[in-house]
Amino acid sequence: MADPGDLLELLPDDRPISWVRGDDGLVGWGEVARWTGSGPDRFADADEWWRTFVAGVAVRDEVGAPGTGPVAFASFTFSDDSAGSVLVVPRVVVGRRGGRAWITEFSHGDGPSVVHAVSPVRPSGTLRYSDGLLPVARYRTAVAEAVRRMRAGELDKAALAHDLLAAGDERLDPRYLLGGLAERYPTCWSFAVEGLVGATPELLVRRTGDVVESRVLAGTMWARDDADHGVPDRLMGSVKDRHEHALAVESLSSALEPMCASLDVPAVPEVLALHNVSHLASDVRGHLDPITPASLLALAEAVHPTAAVGGTPRKVAVDLITELEAMDRGRYAGPVGWVDAEGDGELGIALRCAQLDGRVARLFAGCGIVADSDPDVEVREAAAKLIPVRDALEGD
């Protein structure tokens, strides 16, 4: 097909669906099927449902690349106990990869096509901010308590988050936030699934045939001012951040290793510099067991939550998060992305995001807490991580 141009400009304002990075990605609209679920078996249940669905679909795929044919967009809750994990199969998907574009459309018989002109994107207008379920003061208290328990030897790390509410005068247009984030952060994966809109720098897992890849981010710094160019060196030299990062890499690699014939884990991280913060990053790559290659959703079940968004040891950290945050994260920090009929696809971690519900957006930000963490520094880091979503929502 002819190049469709900016993929995000194709989206309607009614439940847009997106996974875009730079010029490549997938966008969808309409719906032919969905799965919803919860509980510790939600990944396996979703995988079984998806396999059953695609087995019953007659496919004519003239492209034959990952992301062509039937595609489901996925968004899973962080916690086993939260409701809201979902797979959505759009009626129409437009995709582009490496300069090649395609359209996948489910036959609609004699019914009307869902392809139609889209309305102009609506700015958010004036926004009013208020505390979410975990205000900043209580977040600082939670961080301080987590540090105390780590110094007492109860655990090594926990990733604690808090939320912030933004309300507009009219229903918020998810395309405005999505487009703003994609423009500001073209190297991140910009996503929209069931009202959860964001741009994540962290790839939880990608499956392409027998190859599995992941990008681990843990350890964060931001510039003191516009003239501060020493962040990369300070970040690489930070014992606290290097330790936090090592825990996250170990968490991911130990979960992937049993499912792989080989796994390449970098010995030293790199620095990923974004618009307002920098992260320590490690790109992990492996080859799946050729006898029983795991599907994308099975891989996600094995690795979620990594130490980057959960902690170490995993169960102790997740229990601590539940206790100290005392809020339902929903799908924040859960896997988000897409899966195709072959079990290939990409899932990021839902960070730098907001859940939109009518006139209200619920924003999230979190930090990895270790024994050396300073609660006041972590509060400032969380505020820095909220800036991308606030700026994109406000249009500044």
Per-residue model confidence as pLDDT tens digits over 18-45: 999 999 999 999 999 999 999 999 999 9
- Looking at residue 280, what is its pLDDT? 93
Separation CA 257–CA 151 (nearest Å): 30
Structural domain spans, the chain = 7-107+127-394
* Assigned CATH class of 7-107+127-394: alpha beta
Number of helices and strands (H, E) in the chain? 8, 21
- pLDDT band, very low/low/confident/very high, at 64 (cuts 50, 70, 90): confident
Active site residue 157: yes
Task: Look at residue 111 and tell me whether its pLDDT is greater than 60.
Answer: no
Task: Look at residue 109 and tell me whether its pLDDT is greater than 60.
Answer: no
One of 202, 342, 346, 378 is an active-site residue; which one? 202
Contacts of 13 (CB under 8 A, 6+ apart): 118, 119, 121, 122, 173, 174, 175
CA torsion 216-220-226-229 (nearest 10°) is: -70
Active site residue 394: no
Q: What is the pLDDT of residues 144-174, one digit of tens each?
A: 999 999 999 999 999 999 999 999 999 999 9
- pLDDT band, very low/low/confident/very high, at 276 (cuts 50, 70, 90): confident
Instruction: Considering only residues 274 and 321, tell me which one the structure prediction assigns the higher pLDDT.
Output: 321
Mean pLDDT, residues 331-336 taken together: 98
Q: What is the pLDDT of residues 205-237, one digit of tens each?
A: 999 999 999 999 988 887 765 556 788 899 999
- Looking at residue 221, what is its pLDDT? 86
- Looking at residue 108, what is its pLDDT? 61
Q: What is the pLDDT of residues 342-373, one digit of tens each?
A: 999 999 999 999 999 999 999 999 999 999 99
One of 157, 301, 346, 378 is an active-site residue; which one? 157
- Looking at residue 376, what is its pLDDT? 96
- Looking at residue 116, what is its pLDDT? 57
Task: Look at residue 307 and tell me whether its pLDDT is greater than 70.
Answer: yes
As a whole number, the mean pLDDT across the chain is 92
In order, the DSSP letters of 332-386 are TTSEEEEEETTS-EEEEE--SEEEEETTEEEEEEEEEEETT--HHHHHHHHHHHH
Look at the chain and count its residues: 396
